[in-house]
C-alpha cells in the first residue's frame, strides 16, 4: 500500500527570506545559493479503526499549524543529517519525516516547546559559532554543530539544551523511518503476517548454543495437528 | 403489547457478563445484556486494528489519552473517560481503567489464564491475614475444567499443587530470548514453564479459527483465535432470540419494589441521554468490580438506604489490585541477530509461577514472573535511544548518519524484560465509595477511591526487584536503568495500575462481613447476583479472568436452579 503523495519542494532559506509560492512550494534565495530540500509528503487522511472521538482528535491535529516554515525546514535538515537519503533503502526525507515529526510534536504537546526552543537554541548557537543562523551556514558548518550536540555523554553545560533537542530529533527520525515500508525493508522485519510459528530456526539455535529439550517439546504444539479437533481423556491428557 | 419482563438483566459484557449471557441464554432464559460502550467486532473494517502496519496510523501506534496502550490496542476506554470522572481521598492515587465496548476488557487483555490453586482460596489459614473464601478449589475445579474446554487455553500439566493442571492445548515453542531466560532460571533453580493463555494453538470447534501467530492479541483477533467475551461467548447467543443486546446504555441503578426485591434497572441511553427502564425477574451485575460497587451504592431506596446489598457496609471495601514491578536487561548474546518472524502468540510463551510458597520471607503472598522481549514489529518508540547499549561495549553513544542503521540492526531484539505480578493483602480500609459531591455527565454520583499499600506489598516489591536482577543476570543480561529503592516503593505499581481490581462485593457466609454468598447472590436481595471479580475474597497472584469465568458459570447454574425451584 503506497500512501505517499507527491513531493513537496522546500528550499533552505534564512528565516527572513521565506516566501510561499503559489504552487505550494517554499522557495527563497540562499546565502550559498545551492541547496534545496525535498521530502515525500505523508497523507493527512487515515483509516485505521478509529472511533468518532478519535477521528476528531486526528482531524484537529492535522488542521493545527504549529511550526513556522523556517522551523519545519530546520527539522527537515536535521532529519536528513540523522538519516540521509543516499542509501538503497532511502532516508528520512524519502520516508516523509518532516511531516511525521510535525504531527508527533503536535500530538505530544510536551514536545512543542522542546522543539521550538531547541530550534531557536540551534540558531543562536550557529550565530555564535559561524555568524549566521543554522539554515544560512554551510553544510560543513552544520555538521560541525551536530558533532557538538549529537553525543549525550558530552558534559559541557552550555550544550545541554542542544544535546537534548538533537536526541529528540534522532528519536523521532529513527522511529518515524523504521515505521514505514522503507524502514521495514532496511530492518528486514518479516512479521505482521499469518504464519505458523514452529520455534527458532535450527541454525540460529546452533549459533546460540541453545536447544529445545525433549520434555519441553512434548508440551508444545505439533503444528501438523493444529487443525485436528482437541480431545482429552478424563485425566486432562490431550489425546488428539 | 405487554411490557417485556426479562428473566435476567445482565449489566456489563466482559468476562463475567459474557459467561452469564452465554449460560443463561443457552438455558432458555430471556436475557437483556446492557453494555455502556459500543458494539465491537474486531473483524469489522471500521474497527479492525489487527494486522495493520504502523504507517497506517499517523502516530505509528503511539498511545493517546483515548487509547492509553497504543493506537492499535483494541481498548476503547482507558484511565480517563470524558464526562466520567472519579476522585481520590487524601493522597490516594488509585488508577481506574474502564473498558467501554462490547466484551469489555477481554478484548485487549494479555490472555494469561491461570487457575487459582487450593491455597489461594484459604489464605487466612496459611498466613492469618484477610479471610478465607467460603468455597475451595474443589468447588470451583469442575467449572475451571468446563471453561478450559469451552474457551480453550494452552499450557502444560506440571503437577504443581497451587498452580493446578487443566485441559490444556499444547503451548507454542519458546522464542530465542525465552530460551535464554529458561537457562538463566534453571541455573538459579527457579521454575519456568510454558505460559497459560486462552489462545487457540489447536482447533476446539468449527466456529473459531486457530492462531496464525501475528502476536497481536491485544488488538483482538478477527478469526476469534483468542478469547474475548464478545467473540466467544456473546456473538453465538445473539441470533437465537434469547438475548436483547443494549449497547451505549449506562446503568444508573437497580430498581427495587417495596419488599426490597429487584425489579429491573434504570439506564441512560447515551444516544439521546434519555433515562429508560428495563424490567426483570433477576439482575446480574458484572460491570467490573468498581463499577458494580458504584451501581449497588447508587441503588438506594427506603429498604436499602445504604445502597443495594450494603447493609453490611462492605460494598466497595476490600478493594485490591495485583502488585507489579518490572525490570529489563540488554543481552549481548542477542546482538546482530538473524532476523526471522518470531511474532508468535501475543506476549510471552514461557513464565515462572510462584516458587517460594512456605518460605520465611518478610512479606506473605506470592508473585509470578512474565517474560518479555523479542523482535517485535516496530511501532512508535522503536529506535529511541538507538545505541544506548554502546556504553556497555565501550563505544560512543549518540551520533548521526547511516551508521545508525547498523546500530538499529545490531541491537534489534537484544532486550529481555521481566514483569512481576503479585498478590496483595486485602484491607478493610482500602475501598471505593460514592463521592458526596461529584457526579458524572448523567448526574450519577461517581466513585472516590481510598487505597494504600501495606508493608507486605512494599516488601514484596523489594523481593521482586532482587529476583529480577538475579534472573536477568543469570540469563546473560546487563541490567538497564537503576534499581528503585525505598523512596520509590521499590518500583511497586500504583494501586489499580495492573487492572486486576477485585474484592468490592466479596463473598462469604456471614452477611455482616460479606456482600454475597458463594454464588454471588446478594445476602440482602435474593434476585441480584454479582458475576465479576467483585466477589473475590482474595485475588491470588493469578490474573483474575479465568476465575471470573468459572465463578460466573457457577453463578449462572445457581440462577437457573433457583428459577426452576421458583425461589426467584
User: Distance, in angstroms, between A41 CA and closest chain B CA?
Assistant: 12
Q: How far apart (Å, rounded) are the C-alpha atoms in residues B352 and B366?
A: 12
Q: With beta carbons under 8 A apart, name residues in chain B contacting A239.
A: none
Residues in A closer than 8 angstroms to B58, CB to CB, are: 42, 44, 46, 58, 61-62, 100, 103, 107
Answer whether residue B523 is part of any domain.
yes
The closest of A139, A141, A121 to A129, measured between CA atoms, is A141
| Residue A220 near residue B194 (C-beta atoms within 8 A) | yes
CA distance B76 to chain A (A): 8
SS3 assignment, position B542: coil
Edge-first strand order for the sheet with B87-88 is B87-88, B445-450, B431-439
Q: Quick check: is B60 in a domain?
A: no
Residue B277, in any domain of the structure? yes
With respect to residue B495, please indicate whether it lies within any of the assigned structural domains.
no
What mean pLDDT comes out for the span A234-238? Answer: 97
For residue B362, how many other CB atoms are within 10 A of its CB? 11
Residue B297 lies in a domain: yes
The 10s digit of each residue's pLDDT in B314-329 is 999 999 999 999 999 9
User: For B248-279, how does the pLDDT look when each residue is reduced to its tens digit (9 = 90+)?
Assistant: 999 999 999 999 999 999 999 999 999 999 99
- Cβ contacts of A54 within 8 Å, gap of 6 or more: B64, B66, B67
pTM listed for this prediction? 0.95
What tens digit of pLDDT does each residue of B445-466 get?
A: 999 999 999 999 999 999 999 9
Cα(A81)–Cα(B492) distance, integer angstroms: 41
Predicted pLDDT at A34: 58
Whether B194 sits inside 8 A of A180 (CB atoms) is no
φ/ψ of A38, rounded to 5, equals -125, 145
Q: Is A170 on the interface with B (CB under 8 A)?
A: yes
Confidence of residue B304 (pLDDT cuts 50, 70, 90): very high
Whether A237 and chain B come into contact, CB under 8 Å, resolves to: yes
Closest residue by Cα to residue B441 from B97, B3, B36, B27: B36
Q: Which of B59, B187, B379 to mutate to test the interface with A (most CBs of A within 10 A)?
A: B59
Asked whether residue A26 carries a pLDDT value surpassing 90, the answer given is no
d(CA B35, CA B286): 10
Alpha-carbon distance B281 to B262, whole Å? 7
- Residues of chain B neighbouring A150 (CB-CB closer than 8 A): 398-400
Largest CA distance in chain A: 84
User: Residue B331 has which C-alpha cell?
Assistant: 543481552
Element (H, E) at B418: strand B415-422
- Residue B564 within any structural domain of the chain: yes
Task: With respect to residue B508, please indicate whether it lies within any of the assigned structural domains.
Answer: yes
pLDDT at B108: 87
Structural domain containing residue B545: 1-40+85-124+227-322+429-453+501-568
Sort B6 into a burial class: Cβ within 10 Å, 0-12 / 13-18 / 19+: buried
Cβ distance of B58 and A61 shorter than 8 Å: yes
The proportion of chain A whose per-residue pLDDT surpasses 90, expressed as a percent, equals 84
Cα dihedral sign for B98, B102, B108, B114? Answer: positive
Q: In this complex, do A54 and B214 lie within 8 Å of one another by their Cβ atoms? A: no
Inspect the interface and report whether the beta carbons of B402 and A83 lie closer than 8 Å.
yes
CATH for B316: 3.50.50.60
- Average pLDDT for residues B42-50, to the nearest whole number? 95
Contact A110/B at CB under 8 A:
no
CB contact under 8 A, A1 and B53: yes
Between B56, B382, B396, which is nearest A175 by CB? B382
Partner residue facing B176 (CB), from A174, A184, A204: A204
Verify whether the Cβ–Cβ distance B213 to A195 is below 8 Å. yes
Domain count across chain B: 1
**In chain A, what residues touch B186 (CB-CB under 8 Å)?**
none
Tell me whether residue B444 is in a domain: yes
* Among A167, A184, A221, beta carbon nearest to B170: A221
Report the pLDDT averaged over residues A85-92.
96
Size of interface A-B (CB pairs under 8 A): 256
A179 → closest Cβ in B67, B375, B380: B380
Q: What is the mean pLDDT of chain A?
A: 88
Beta strands B262-269 and B249-256 are: antiparallel
Closest among B380, B82, B42 to A57, alpha carbons compared = B82
A130 touching chain B per CB within 8 A: no
Amino acid at each position: 500500500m503506497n500512501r505517499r503523495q507527491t513531493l513537496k519542494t522546500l528550499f533552505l532559506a534564512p528565516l527572513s527570506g521565506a516566501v510561499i509560492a503559489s504552487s505550494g512550494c517554499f522557495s527563497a534565495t540562499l546565502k550559498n545559493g545551492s541547496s534545496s530540500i525535498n521530502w515525500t509528503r505523508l497523507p493527512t487522511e487515515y483509516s485505521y479503526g478509529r472511533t468518532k472521538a478519535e477521528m476528531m482528535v486526528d482531524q484537529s491535529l492535522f488542521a493545527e499549524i504549529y511550526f513556522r516554515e523556517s522551523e519545519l525546514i530546520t527539522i527537515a535538515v536535521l532529519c536528513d543529517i540523522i538519516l540521509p537519503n543516499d542509501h538503497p533503502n532511502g532516508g528520512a526525507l524519502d520516508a516523509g519525516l518532516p511531516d511525521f515529526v510535525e504531527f508527533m510534536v503536535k500530538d505530544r504537546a510536551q514536545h512543542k516547546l522542546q522543539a521550538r526552543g531547541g530550534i531557536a537554541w540551534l540558531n543562536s548557537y550557529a550565530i555564535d559559532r559561524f555568524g549566521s543562523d543554522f539554515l544560512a551556514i554551510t553544510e560543513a558548518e552544520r555538521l560541525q554543530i551536530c558533532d557538538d550536540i549529537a553525543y549525550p555523554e558530552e558534559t559541557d553545560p552550555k550544550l545541554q539544551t542542544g544535546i537534548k533537542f538533537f536526541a529528540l530529533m534522532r528519536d523521532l527520525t529513527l522511529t518515524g523511518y523504521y515505521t514505514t515500508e522503507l524502514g521495514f525493508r532496511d530492518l528486514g522485519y518479516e512479521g505482521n503476517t499469518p504464519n505458523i510459528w514452529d520455534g527458532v530456526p535450527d541454525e540460529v539455535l546452533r549459533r546460540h548454543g541453545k536447544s529445545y529439550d525433549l520434555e519441553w517439546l512434548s508440551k508444545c504444539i505439533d503444528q501438523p495437528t493444529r487443525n485436528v479437533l482437541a480431545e482429552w481423556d478424563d485425566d486432562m491428557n490431550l489425546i488428539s | 403489547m405487554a411490557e417485556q419482563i426479562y428473566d435476567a438483566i445482565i449489566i456489563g459484557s466482559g468476562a463475567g457478563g459474557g459467561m452469564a449471557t452465554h449460560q443463561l441464554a443457552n438455558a432458555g432464559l430471556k436475557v437483556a445484556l446492557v453494555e455502556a460502550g459500543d458494539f465491537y467486532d474486531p473483524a469489522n473494517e471500521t474497527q479492525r486494528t489487527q494486522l495493520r502496519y504502523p504507517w497506517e496510523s499517523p502516530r505509528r501506534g503511539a498511545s493517546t489519552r483515548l487509547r492509553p496502550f497504543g493506537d492499535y490496542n483494541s481498548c476503547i476506554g482507558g484511565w480517563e473517560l470524558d464526562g466520567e470522572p472519579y476522585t481520590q481521598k487524601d493522597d490516594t492515587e488509585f488508577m481506574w481503567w474502564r473498558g467501554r465496548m462490547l466484551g469489555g476488557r477481554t478484548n485487549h487483555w494479555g490472555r494469561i489464564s491461570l487457575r487459582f490453586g487450593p491455597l489461594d482460596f484459604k489464605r487466612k489459614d496459611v498466613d492469618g491475614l484477610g479471610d478465607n473464601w467460603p468455597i475451595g478449589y474443589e468447588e470451583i475445579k469442575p467449572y475451571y475444567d468446563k471453561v478450559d474446554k469451552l474457551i480453550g487455553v494452552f499450557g502444560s500439566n506440571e503437577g504443581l499443587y497451587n498452580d493446578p493442571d487443566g485441559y490444556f492445548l499444547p503451548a507454542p515453542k519458546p522464542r530465542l530470548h525465552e530460551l535464554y531466560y529458561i537457562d538463566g532460571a534453571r541455573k538459579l533453580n527457579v521454575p519456568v514453564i510454558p505460559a497459560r493463555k486462552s489462545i487457540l494453538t489447536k482447533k476446539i470447534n468449527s466456529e473459531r479459527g486457530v492462531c496464525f501467530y501475528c502476536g497481536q492479541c491485544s488488538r483482538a483477533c478477527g478469526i476469534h483465535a483468542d478469547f474475548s467475551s464478545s467473540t466467544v461467548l456473546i456473538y453465538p447467543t445473539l441470533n437465537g432470540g434469547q438475548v436483547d443486546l443494549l449497547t451505549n446504555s449506562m446503568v444508573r441503578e437497580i430498581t427495587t419494589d417495596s419488599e426490597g426485591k429487584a425489579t429491573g434497572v434504570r439506564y441512560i441511553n447515551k444516544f439521546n441521554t434519555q433515562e429508560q427502564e428495563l424490567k426483570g425477574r433477576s439482575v446480574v451485575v458484572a460491570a467490573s468490580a468498581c463499577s458494580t460497587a458504584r451501581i449497588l451504592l447508587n441503588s438506594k431506596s427506603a429498604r436499602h438506604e445504604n445502597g443495594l446489598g450494603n447493609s453490611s457496609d462492605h460494598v466497595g471495601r476490600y478493594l485490591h489490585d495485583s502488585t507489579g514491578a518490572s525490570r529489563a536487561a540488554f543481552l549481548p548474546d542477542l546482538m546482530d541477530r538473524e532476523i526471522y518472524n518470531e511474532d508468535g502468540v501475543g506476549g510471552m510463551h514461557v513464565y515462572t509461577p510462584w516458587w517460594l510458597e512456605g518460605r520465611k520471607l518478610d512479606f506473605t503472598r506470592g508473585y509470578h514472573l512474565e517474560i518479555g522481549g523479542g523482535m517485535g514489529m516496530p511501532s512508535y518508540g522503536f529506535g529511541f535511544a538507538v545505541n544506548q547499549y554502546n556504553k556497555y561495549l565501550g563505544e560512543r553513544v549518540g551520533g548521526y548518519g547511516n551508521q545508525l542503521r547498523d546500530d538499529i540492526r545490531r541491537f534489534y531484539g537484544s532486550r529481555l524484560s521481566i514483569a512481576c505480578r503479585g498478590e496483595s493483602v486485602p484491607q478493610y480500609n482500602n475501598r471505593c465509595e460514592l463521592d458526596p459531591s461529584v457526579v458524572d455527565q448523567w448526574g450519577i454520583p461517581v466513585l472516590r477511591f481510598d487505597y494504600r499499600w501495606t508493608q507486605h506489598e512494599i516488601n514484596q516489591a523489594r523481593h521482586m526487584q532482587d529476583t529480577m536482577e538475579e534472573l536477568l543476570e543469570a540469563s546473560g543480561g546487563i541490567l538497564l536503568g537503576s534499581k528503585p529503592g525505598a523512596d520509590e516503593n521499590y518500583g511497586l505499581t500504583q494501586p489499580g495500575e495492573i487492572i486486576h481490581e477485585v474484592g468490592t462485593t466479596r463473598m462469604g457466609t456471614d452477611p455482616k462481613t460479606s456482600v454475597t454468598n458463594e454464588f454471588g447472590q446478594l445476602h440482602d436481595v435474593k434476585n441480584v447476583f454479582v458475576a465479576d471479580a467483585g466477589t473475590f475474597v482474595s485475588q491470588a497472584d493469578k490474573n483474575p479472568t479465568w476465575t471470573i469465568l468459572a465463578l460466573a458459570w457457577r453463578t449462572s447454574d445457581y440462577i437457573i436452579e433457583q428459577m426452576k425451584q421458583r425461589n426467584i
